[in-house]
């Protein structure tokens, strides 16, 4: 049975929870066209497919990555946490075929305490939306990761178009390269890529690193 741990903290008044009350309805229809690099991140993960690992995706949204992770790692135990009930409702339907392997938790990471030490933590287009608090979230994720475990991040990087930066700020997204200033300092880098979207309208990045001993 899929282990959905139903509301363990109250997130209804969180600004992102309110934002996704509507956005969840159009999320899967629209995000394929601008949240680039998600499949590539999972393809690039340096952990062998046959390993029995525990994986946490923080801000799992509607579950696209959870399913890709379950396909790549058939022996993995996968947990997704998200603060938006509306996003999780869509996610729970999608992960039904993976009952027992993928579980979801409703809550804001940082307020929810995890006993488990994970082998892999994924942040996919989550950290640029955590303003303020993205740096604290990285530190909290790091403390939840096993030593030698993998931190994998894909997200917006920056834009030279100030109107676009302003537009994205209206969608809670910060796009000024701040994450790549910090991630390589906190983790031993395995992979880093920065790529242009729509001929340079913005850039997105992928970072994979190991937790140092
Ligand atoms: C842009 S969506 C990305 C969803 C998914 N990772 C993907 O790649 O499609 C960002 C998600 O992060 C969630 N989120 C943001 N901050 C969070 C936090 N502190 N704890 C849990 N979820 C969070 C939001 O509710 C939202 O569903």
How far, in Å, is the centroid of ligand 1 from the Cα of 184? 22
Q: What's the pLDDT at 114?
A: 82
How far, in Å, is the centroid of ligand 1 from the Cα of 48? 26
Domains of the chain: 15-210 (3.40.50.150)
Q: Give dist(CA 28, CA 33) in Å, integer.
A: 10
Q: What's the pLDDT at 6?
A: 40
Query: What are the pLDDT tens digits along the chain (213 aa)?
Result: 334 344 456 888 899 999 999 999 999 999 999 999 999 999 999 999 999 999 999 999 999 999 999 999 999 999 999 999 999 999 999 999 998 999 999 999 988 878 779 999 999 999 999 999 999 999 999 999 999 999 999 999 999 998 999 999 999 999 999 999 999 999 999 999 999 999 999 999 999 999 998
Q: Is the C-beta atom of 154 inside 6 A of ligand 1? A: no
Q: Is the C-beta atom of 105 inside 6 A of ligand 1? A: no
SS3 label, residue 140: helix
Contact 108, 85 (CB under 8 A): no
Going by C-alpha positions, the residue among 178, 193, 186 that lies closest to residue 209 is: 186
Q: Is the C-beta atom of 130 inside 6 A of ligand 1? A: yes
Q: Is the C-beta atom of 56 inside 6 A of ligand 1? A: no
Q: What's the pLDDT at 113?
A: 76
Q: Give dist(CA 65, CA 40) in Å, integer.
A: 11
Q: What's the pLDDT at 9?
A: 61
How far, in Å, is the centroid of ligand 1 from the Cα of 59? 3
Q: Is the C-beta atom of 88 inside 6 A of ligand 1? A: no
Burial of 181 (0-12, 13-18, 19+ CB in 10 A): exposed
Q: Is the C-beta atom of 67 inside 6 A of ligand 1? A: no
How far, in Å, is the centroid of ligand 1 from the Cα of 63? 10
Q: Is the C-beta atom of 36 inside 6 A of ligand 1? A: no
């Amino acid at each position: 049975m899929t282990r959905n741990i139903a509301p363990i903290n109250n997130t209804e008044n969180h600004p992102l929870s309110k934002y996704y009350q509507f956005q969840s309805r159009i999320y899967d229809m629209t995000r394929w066209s601008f949240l680039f690099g998600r499949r590539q991140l999972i393809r690039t993960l340096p952990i062998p497919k046959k390993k029995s690992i525990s994986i946490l995706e923080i801000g799992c949204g509607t579950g696209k990555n959870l399913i890709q992770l379950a396909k790549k790692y058939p022996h993995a135990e996968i947990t997704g946490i998200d603060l938006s009930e509306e996003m999780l409702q869509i996610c729970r339907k999608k992960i039904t075929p993976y009952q027992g392997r993928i579980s979801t938790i409703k809550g804001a990471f940082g307020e929810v305490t995890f006993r488990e030490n994970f082998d892999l933590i994924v942040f996919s287009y989550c950290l640029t939306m955590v303003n303020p608090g993205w740096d604290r979230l990285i530190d909290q994720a790091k403390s939840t990761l096993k030593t030698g475990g993998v931190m994998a991040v894909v997200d917006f990087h920056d834009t030279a178009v100030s109107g676009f930066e302003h537009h994205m700020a209206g969608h809670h997204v910060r796009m000024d390269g701040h994450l790549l200033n910090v991630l390589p300092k906190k983790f031993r880098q395995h992979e880093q890529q920065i790529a242009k979207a729509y001929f340079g309208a913005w850039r997105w990045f992928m970072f994979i690193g190991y937790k140092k001993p």
